[in-house]
Structure 1
Amino acid sequence: MRRHFVFCVVALNWSWVSSFTEAEVDDDGALAALEGSGRQFGRQFGPFEYIHPRLDAQLVSPLTTIAVRQGSLIKAESIQGKIKVHGSKSGNVQGEIVLAADGQTVIFRGNKPFKLGESVQVSVLGGLKTAAGFAGGLQWRFTVRESLPFSTDPLSKREKLQEQRRKIRPVGKSYVLDPPSVPDDAKSGMMDDYFIPRGVREGSNHTMMRGTFGFKNGFELMNTFPVAKYLQRNYKTIPPYFPRIRMSVPAKEGVQEGYVFFTNRRGPTNQREFEREHPWLMMLDNEGDIVFFTEVPGMYDSRGNLIVTDAKMLSFDAALFDHRFKKVKTFTEPHGYKKDGHDFKIDKDGGAIMMHEDTQYMRHKGRTVRINAAVFTEQDKYGNPVFEWRMWDYMTVDEMLQFGMLNDQGDVAHPNGISRSPDGNHVYSLRHMGVMKVNRRTGDVMWRLGGHHGFSDFKFVNEPRPFAFQHFAHEIKNGNILMFDNHVNHDGEVARAVEYQLDHKAKTATKVWEYTHGNQIYSLANGSVQRLSNGNTAICWGGMGVGPDMQGDWSAPFYTEVKPNGEVVMEMYFEDGQNSHSAHKYTRDQWWAEPHWPPALVLDSSNKDKIPRIHFSWNGATNVAKWLVYQGENGPPKRLTKTIDRKQFEHFVKVERARQVCEHYQVVAVDSNGKRLKASAVVKSYACKKNQ
């Protein structure tokens, strides 16, 4: 007979924390500690490398989950009953215990939110089984905030969502949390067919604001730039108010093959009023021809990145789309936070990392200040929160105000970028502070770069003007830090892309590459930079169409591709001065698509000769090699009249008898192997309509 006892060892140098060890005692009374049990020295949280909320954490969301990660794979059958939670107001808290998709993180989700202001005690009992044996236990406390963090989303509304609470279901030997079902939306914000024109947007009055401070306004040269290919061809299957794009530098030798992904964003006439008409998602090829477009509904934030994930899926806002442009899933914000629209990433394993701002009013030196503290979260492919980094846990209010920028909105940090580094950790971009790297397993800050007032761990050795107000800072494959440096409100105010090499022993940051576009571009906000597979760098200059004096319209390229030596091999502008929050290029191997909607086919005679034509395209399709054109007296037509090699987004065929003879038209897309992909709808000639 073997009996189990739990032994408690109090760690005196911790603030109210205990570490538990499970041991077995034989009948003869000999104590036999299991292998792998007990406190593992060198770890911050007893036997665990990560706990959430942190030890003695304050201002914790009442909707938080509780998580521990031991660092080894855990047997799913050993987790039940191992986490006990007690609130000073809630009493014993009932909930569910699940094992996340990584097989290492154990999560407790309470059935109800915690009470505001209560102290919560967490007890993780020994006995979580790993391959090495049994992990020890741990006990700690945290405190729930006194007031709600949701200025626009009250707790009562969140409580209603508890009715849709995730359900436990087994997956193999693990238990996962199913996220609440999302109503099926076949369109998913993506178009089903060509757009029906809804009227042309009234022309903007572009004040020709001359460049100041040495800056160059793109409007001064816009009429000298050739229009993009789709404008040269006078396409009929796109709406008349589709954005007009100019190729200031048509693609040259050495350009990276692939497609440019971007959105459009109209900037402010002042810092508070935004004009956002007709937000689009777009893809263009190197010739400036359309690959894909859709006008996004108002529910989406056009600032969000349109990107291809590591798993070669399409991501926008907080949604994931497949190669047919069907929505696979939508990620929900954990712990009651609101997602920040600046950035969102989906990993190749299907998990997601996102940013938030947690607003609190704090007393500081005799006055009340508003602080929007940055929060970064990661969830697995099932929606389990497996990591959270809160600024409250790593900076005091004094440090936040010292490192950041205090304004009426409390925007001390302004998080605007999140990414996973090549070694699996996180890199965060804080516009008003700098850049930091965080250990994804433990939450520890590994280093901080740039900023001012003592924020940086590194000294710049060859940089007379360190970066400021940056966007899209991330670690690239060689370990260097690449970013878009807006550099507003600082000397020079010249925007650029810049790359730094960090020496972690000497604590120095060395500039190893930059591109400034001749010191001619001003960028108030937004922007991105991407190192391409052929060594080129893709730069979005952002700026939102606003110039240095915040008056008139201002134009900067939304996409510039440069070689390592600074030679521009491709560049594009929005004709009306819009820009993109970010722009990225992906190769044909990274992105291909066969949309779930059919090809578009329209009959039109608005050409200069007034000859009827059928125009056809397949928005989003990348694998069309040929078009089969069918005509006939009845529909669907059976007579193949033409086979056309696909050479551009849209093609047309003259149908000169369309006014005299009732005919039916249809086109079929064919791939390079001769496979028929999808047929368009059948369109009737003008004569058919007259005879009806």
Structure 2
Amino acid sequence: MHYGSLLNVRSNNIGQPPDAATGPSPCQQVLDDGRRTFAPIEPDFSAEPLPHQERADREQRSSEAALAGADDPADVEDASDMTEAQWESWTDSANLRTEPSAADGFIYRHPKPRAILVSPKTSIALRAPIQLKRPSIRDKVRVRADEGGFVGGKVLLTRDGRTLLWTPLRLFKAGETVTVKVASGILGEDGTAMGGVMWQFRVSPNPLRLYDGPFTDPDDGAEEWRAEAKANYRRKGPDADAAEWHLYGPFMPSAFPSLSTSTEQPAGQPHQEQQQAEEPPLVDAHTASAASSAGCEIEGSSWPKDEEAFRRVYPTMLSETFLQPSPTGSKYGNDTPGNERPYLIITDKHGQLVYWRRHTSQAKQRVVRLTDEMGQRGNLIYRDRLNVTDREGKRRGATKWVEMNHDLQRVRTHKAGHGYQADQHDIAISADGKRRAFLIVDTQLTDVGRWLREKENKGGASGADDRLSEVWVYVPIVQVLDEDDNIVMEWRASDTWPIPELVLRHEGSVEALIERQKANPNGPMDVAHINSVSFTPDGNLLVSLRHLNVLEVDVNTGRINWMLGGSATDRLFNDFAIDEDSRFREQHHVRMLGSGHITLFDNRNPPPGDGSTPKYSRALELKIIKHNSSTTSDGDFPYSVKTVWEHRGPYGLAMGWVQRFANGNTGINWGGLANKETPFYQEVTADGSTVFEMKLTSANGAYSTYKGVWWSRPTRPPLLTMNEPLPAAADTDTPIPAALHFSWNGATNVKEWEVYGGLSSPPSLLLGRLNKRLFEHRWPLDQHTMQAVRQGDFSHPCGGGGAAKTGGGCSTGYYYFRVVPVLHDGRKGQASAVLGVKAKQAAAKKKKKKQKKKKKKKTRGNGY
């Protein structure tokens, strides 16, 4: 096993605005989290429905079939032919409550009463505090949309036995108001009867295509996955380009990681990765790689014809050119097309590479870790983009979380529901592995001017300005799915705060917002920046909103238990009395320990308008103190917080990661933006002593660094390549000797390598053994072997003297190599495929013969 670190590269957080040619969006909000109400403004559900494009209607009709087809016909309740009289009569007899009440017995509803900006693909959910009787949930739910009429649906009881989930048989239309009626009479297992309820919500005015998540089965991306896998392996290319790819990969030596550690190196394991990095690039390397057939002959001087041949890349961190200076002078990098895509990298505890994988796209990739948050078990999970087929038959990118097993094979993809795309910053998996929590960023239009005018009409402070227009806003959402992919909880920022309030807070003033809209009218505003989510020890959710605070959300009710202010500490966003020492700003990676303490990375960015440069960032541990009464000496806050541990380090404007281990040590990724002096990983003891640290030798970065127990047994064979000897370069007196290069990407149980050579395929002569200490090993070839390759006489002892002849498994003009890994238990692992190297003399004769034949044909063609 390897107790290693999992690294993921960093890219810019650049969003693309959706189509702005949609109708106006309602900005009225009712905001009740079950514990408080923030001066709500009632939405006008009697108003005319918002206009939407004809294209949205077409998209609506083409999507009907997607939600039809229930597995159990008994669970389908098609009430689409319900009459008005039946609707009214059903309502009268159901004894419905129109407001949430403890009397109805339900502790969770989705969407919330009077919710707005709801996905047209939403389901409807109710949860009781007790187990429900399955037969009693049937024929209890009726749904009506003001534009689409009565809607049929499929009802089911989720595996927890408490959650009723109703999925419509058609999609809701953009901007329409939906009324939900649930009749009384749903029974608990103890005989308790739930009361009837009725409520309304409004669908987002956005066109349907903005909610067009992967319109295929989760595994329908397999074909694209295979195509992407081939893209990771080199299939063709000029020889002049081959040398650089062979040794260094796309980044060249300056991007290699360096290692600094106070722990002792194992005996016989020097830091040879630096020695490899300093070797000059090969100019005319033989880069043939192992083919799938053990007897396949491959010419070492040409690219292999097998499509599955490995592309020879030595992976490192991000390219120096990945974060180029922005032409606008921004401190953020310019994520330009054409730069190399980011990599997923696993190293062992000595910093030696174990596994690498190039991401499918250059799109932002953030987190890679094990499915077990504690790092002791589980599969590898990371986020990537796959191309899928949408409802119009077009191929497009879809973001999913990909899970790989210990064979390094994709076993599952995880995606958000309700048509949303999962965000790249984080994913949470419950301790029992049954629930997953996704971060979502929903782009919506909000009319701040209209909201301010309505607030003024109701007697509130205004500052309304007719120059204000609609703005695009990133609205945070957290979604919890169970083991059957049912959406059992959804928390939305638009149900908690007025989105216009967040917009004004983010910009600071109406005037600042007006200027911002002039400069960038279609650019979405990231008013909260959701960047981490995790399950707490008691099963609730801990959510980080970087520009605002940290939340604990009750998974059963969807309500906020508490808000811990970070950048925002006023009562709208904070329930804590916070001293200056415990104040944090622009945080990342918030987690709750078994003790109930919270760890986070405190970037400590200054407030807007403050031109000062922070002196440090820090890893921070906080203790939460709950008071017995809401009236306390701490300014009437129900909670207070106290710093119990911190470790200061270099200031990082963005990114950052903190991980607490069982021995009390803490792993820290110091974030930053492409600063080679900042460690991308450091492990410290409780007293702050450094036990392990890694940096990059050039200006690159990693968003997250995660440490855990990992082992793998790849199904692909080891890679074997060869370079022929090269003369010394002009600036050095050292020639480059001929050598074999071999590695097994991802393997963690290799003890040593056996190198074989010979005139037949597969070769059987053992040339020697080599203890495995590096990711890639180099085996210098002796004079006898290289003379055989150069002269073509193959007078090597294994050939028995004389020239090789065709027959008996031998092939004239070839010499063969193969490597075999020996595992720690003494068994032999999967061998590389055979590398056949063609003698230069034989190759030259063959070329000359071919040219002569071509010349003869040409002569005949001219009539001579």
State the TM-score, normalizing by the size of structure 2.
Answer: 0.62
Aligned to 1:316: 382
- Contact residue 158 and residue 165 of structure 2 kept, 8 A: yes
Distance 1:492 1:299, change over 3 A: closer
SS at match of 1:479: coil
Aligned to 2:666: 537
Aligned to 2:695: 573
53-62 vs 407-416, which moves further: 407-416
Letter in 2 for 1:516: R
CA RMSD of aligned residues (A): 3.8
Structure 1 residue 63 displacement after superposition: 1.4
- Contact residue 62 and residue 144 of structure 1 kept, 8 A: no
Distance 1:72 1:655, change over 3 A: farther
Aligned to 2:648: 516
Letter in 2 for 1:570: F
Structure 1 residue 313 displacement after superposition: 0.8
1:643-654 equivalent positions in 2, closer than 5 A: 643-654=769-780
Counterpart pick for 2:128 among 59, 70, 77: 70
Distance 1:645 1:241, change over 3 A: closer
Distance 1:156 1:342, change over 3 A: closer
Counterpart pick for 1:243 among 316, 322, 332: 316
Cα shift readout 1:557-582 (whole Å, capped 9, x = no counterpart):
21111111111111112212111111
SS at match of 2:502: helix
Aligned to 1:116: 174
Distance 1:368 1:679, change over 3 A: same
Distance 1:130 1:244, change over 3 A: closer
Cα shift readout 1:378-418 (whole Å, capped 9, x = no counterpart):
12233321110011111134653576556653221111111
Aligned to 2:222: 183
Aligned to 1:336: 419
Cα shift readout 1:626-671 (whole Å, capped 9, x = no counterpart):
3233333211223444343322222233332044034322222232
Aligned to 1:596: 715
Letter in 2 for 1:412: V
Structure 1 residue 133 displacement after superposition: 3.8
Distance 1:79 1:641 in 2: 73
Aligned to 2:757: 631
Counterpart pick for 1:489 among 593, 596, 606: 606
SS at match of 2:418: helix
- Contact residue 502 and residue 508 of structure 1 kept, 8 A: yes
1:141-290 equivalent positions in 2, closer than 5 A: 141-145=199-203, 147-148=205-206, 154-156=207-209, 181-185=220-224, 187=226, 229-233=272-276, 242-243=315-316, 266=323, 269=326, 270=330, 271=332, 273-275=334-336, 277-290=340-353
Distance 1:577 1:689, change over 3 A: farther
Cα shift readout 1:168-221 (whole Å, capped 9, x = no counterpart):
xxxxxxxxxx75744345558667986675756588999xxxxxxxxxxx99x9
- Contact residue 405 and residue 413 of structure 1 kept, 8 A: no
Aligned to 1:664: 816
Residue 480 in structure 1 maps to residue 597 in structure 2: yes
State the TM-score, normalizing by the size of structure 1.
Answer: 0.76
Distance 1:487 1:68 in 2: 40
Distance 1:489 1:296 in 2: 34
Letter in 2 for 1:512: V
Structure 1 residue 430 displacement after superposition: 0.7
Distance 2:815 2:601 in 1: 56
SS at match of 1:400: helix
Aligned to 2:797: none
Residue 355 in structure 1 maps to residue 439 in structure 2: yes
Distance 1:281 1:179, change over 3 A: closer
Aligned to 2:359: 296
620-629 vs 304-313, which moves further: 620-629
Aligned to 1:174: none
Distance 2:739 2:103 in 1: 72
Distance 1:404 1:187 in 2: 43
SS at match of 2:381: strand
Distance 2:662 2:556 in 1: 29
- Contact residue 280 and residue 294 of structure 1 kept, 8 A: yes
Distance 1:542 1:478 in 2: 26
Cα shift readout 1:112-133 (whole Å, capped 9, x = no counterpart):
2112332222233456565434
Aligned to 2:150: 92
Aligned to 1:252: none
SS at match of 1:232: helix
Residue 582 in structure 1 maps to residue 625 in structure 2: no
Cα shift readout 1:438-490 (whole Å, capped 9, x = no counterpart):
111111111111223412211224x3471101111221222111111111124
Distance 1:689 1:615, change over 3 A: farther
Aligned to 1:501: 623
Aligned to 2:73: none
Distance 1:78 1:690 in 2: 83
Letter in 2 for 1:471: H
Counterpart pick for 2:529 among 414, 428, 432: 414
Distance 1:628 1:663 in 2: 17
Distance 2:322 2:658 in 1: 17
Distance 1:670 1:94, change over 3 A: farther
Residue 386 in structure 1 maps to residue 508 in structure 2: no
Distance 1:503 1:527, change over 3 A: same
Percent identity for Structure 1 against Structure 2: 30
Counterpart pick for 2:835 among 679, 683, 686: 683
Distance 2:252 2:768 in 1: 40
Determine which structure has greater relative contact order: mean sequence separation of CA pairs < 8 Å that are 6+ residues apart, divided by chain length.
2
**Count of matched residue positions in the alignment of Structure 1 and Structure 2:** 591
Distance 1:190 1:282 in 2: 16
Distance 1:559 1:238 in 2: 29
Letter in 1 for 2:436: A
Aligned to 1:327: 410
Counterpart pick for 1:442 among 557, 565, 572: 557
Distance 1:638 1:193, change over 3 A: farther
Aligned to 1:167: none
Which structure carries more strand by proportion?
A: 1
Structure 1 residue 350 displacement after superposition: 4.7
Structure 1 regions of 5+ residues with no counterpart? 1-13, 17-37, 149-153, 165-177, 207-217, 246-262, 547-553
- Contact residue 537 and residue 563 of structure 1 kept, 8 A: yes
Distance 1:268 1:54 in 2: 45
Structure 2 regions of 5+ residues with no counterpart? 1-36, 44-95, 236-241, 283-309, 384-400, 453-463, 517-523, 628-637, 727-733, 789-793, 795-813, 847-864
Distance 1:574 1:70 in 2: 52
Aligned to 2:859: none
Residue 106 in structure 1 maps to residue 164 in structure 2: yes
- Contact residue 338 and residue 356 of structure 1 kept, 8 A: yes
